[in-house]
Copies of this chain bind each other. A is one copy, B any other.
């Protein structure tokens, strides 16, 4: 399998864009992070590692990474975008606890059927889907019960 850097390099060439140090450093860092991140935390992390890259460059690079399928946006409904690298990873969905904010990932093979049905029934060509689930994790349910019992 091609590395993420190779994938991006090809993408960049095909479009007449440029393979820059900044883009390389940002992309490398993104694939070192094995959690969800936002622009701020990514920028801070790069800084920690002595890598000087402006937020503007991060904001400009992310759409490119997304466009070539290396990264995706994740919606945690908290007012700004989060991201994760997806290249080389299985598709998954998120469950976020409304109590503590913990995010749990899960696979859901059934959703492939949904995409299929949309294609057959409506003639849609599905590019991607995202299922976001909200609820309460076991710990927060327990905490809630105890509070109510008082």
Residues of A within 8 A of B (CB): 73, 75, 77, 95, 97-98, 104, 106, 108, 110-111, 113-115, 117-118, 122-138, 141
On chain B, the residues within 8 Å of A118 by CB distance are: 95, 106, 133, 135
Across the two chains, which residue of chain B brings its CB closest to A75? B75
Copies of this chain, complex-wide, total: 2
Contacts of A131 in B (CB 8 A): 111, 114, 129-132
Do A135 and B130 touch across chains, with their CB atoms under 8 A apart?
Answer: no
Q: How far is the CB of A72 from chain B (nearest CB, A)?
A: 11
Known interface pairs A73-B77, A133-B118. Does A98 touch B124 (Cβ–Cβ under 8 Å)?
no
Q: A130-B131, A134-B129, A135-B126 are in contact. Are A108 and B114 (CB under 8 A)?
A: yes
